[in-house]
Amino acid sequence: MKATISDVARLAGVSTATVSHTINSTRYVSGETKEKVYQAIRQLGYTPDASARSFRTGKKKTVGFIVPDISNKFFGTIIESAENYLSAQGYHLIIANTKESMDREETNLRLLTAGLVDGLLVASTMDDFARLDGLIPAGFPVVLVDRTFESQKYSSVSVSNFQPIYRSVCRLAAQGKRRIGVIGGLRRLSTTQERIAACRTAMADCGLPQDEDLILYGDSMEDSAPPCLERLLERGCDAILVCQGLMASVTIAYLRGKGIRPREDLELVSFVDYDTRAYEFYYDQVDRIVQPVEELGRVAGEQILLRVEKPDAPVVERVLTSEYRPCGGEEDA
């Protein structure tokens, strides 16, 4: 039997009105109470009945965006760019933050696809396409952002970082670096897998030793960088490649705290995700890989509106390219 809003309220220990306010964001509900409601929704597999809503009459002129970490400047910039585009087209944007939790993503998918929005942008943290696909109603407009799966059922907008990473590793090899440490993000994400594959391919092509102990994984959070850096330094790395932009400033601060000077004592390559004046201070110390983040958000906005307005449009895979910027703007050796 399908779970009802009363079932959710009973399990969460709140009123049905509180459940409704939590789902629809129509009144303030404390974070603790929200979490109880969401936990009950997950446990029961509850999906709001769209037929009982006024949302069914025409378009809502609203798009949802599920992101893994709203505090990450990378996603914040994408959101702002997508929202600017959508707003100019008369659409609103609803943000759902999963905190890199697959369970929270599942809850948000159930709620947003039940009549709250016309279409959905998803920067998924799911490790299984079948799980993601099973939560999306047939024909519902979806565009994957900064994520790809082998199955190309949904349109996607992503950034290819293979060539910039390949070039950076080859440049390090040409400088005589032999022990290149790598810090990746969440192992299950397609972005992480592509970046690590680029590192491995470049190392093999340049004749560098393949030492798996020099490839470590954190997540997209800043505090995951120092433990990885400590281990790589202990293992005698003469260069480090940081594959997550949020870790860039933390990495530089950590090295400086250890008395290690980038470029003089250690070669450093890092994603910075967005071109910001803050990195001008390290212009001659760090090789940077800069992603076209604002363009990524704008194109995501374009693609989801295309899906909303033309549901039968062909599935499109848009791939943008990041830019490799060696120290001080030097060209490759």
Q: DSSP string covering 105-123, please?
A: HHHHHHHIIIII-SEEEE-
Are 185 and 191 contacting, i.e. CB atoms less than 8 angstroms apart?
Answer: yes
Question: Which residue range forms the structural domain that includes residue 9?
Answer: 1-46
Residues 39 and 117 in one domain: no
Nearest to 91 by CA among 60, 54, 56: 60
- Residue 272 included in any domain: yes
Residues 31 and 143 in one domain: no
Quote the number of domains for the chain: 3
- Residue 81 included in any domain: yes
Residues 70 and 151 in one domain: yes
Residue 120 and residue 123: Cα distance in Å, rounded? 10
Residues 101 and 205 in one domain: no
- The pLDDT, as a whole number, for residue 318 is 95
Q: Which two tokens stand for residue 194?
A: 């592509």
Residues 97 and 211 in one domain: no
Q: Kindly give, in sequence order, each residue whose CB lies less than 8 Å from that of residue 185, ignoring residues fewer than 6 positions away.
A: 191, 192, 195, 217, 218, 219, 220, 243, 244
- The pLDDT, as a whole number, for residue 328 is 62
- The pLDDT, as a whole number, for residue 244 is 83
Are 241 and 180 contacting, i.e. CB atoms less than 8 angstroms apart?
Answer: yes
- The pLDDT, as a whole number, for residue 120 is 96
User: Containing H/E element for 62?
Assistant: strand 62-67
Residue 160 and residue 322: Cα distance in Å, rounded? 7
- pLDDT (tens, 9 = 90+) of the chain, 333 residues, equals 778 888 999 999 999 888 888 876 667 888 889 889 888 888 888 876 554 444 443 578 999 999 998 888 889 999 999 999 999 999 999 999 998 899 999 999 999 998 889 999 999 988 888 999 999 998 899 999 998 887 888 999 999 889 999 999 999 999 999 999 999 988 888 889 999 999 999 999 999 988 999 999 987 677 788 999 999 999 999 999 998 877 887 888 899 899 998 888 999 998 876 555 555 556 577 888 989 999 999 999 999 999 999 988 899 999 999 988 887 655 443
User: Residue 141 belongs to a domain with what CATH number?
Assistant: 3.40.50.2300
300 three-state secondary structure: helix
User: Containing H/E element for 158?
Assistant: strand 155-160
- The pLDDT, as a whole number, for residue 331 is 45
Residues 126 and 210 in one domain: no
Residue 181: other Cβ atoms inside 10 A: 24
Residues 286 and 183 in one domain: yes
- The pLDDT, as a whole number, for residue 183 is 94
Q: Biggest alpha carbon distance in the chain?
A: 67
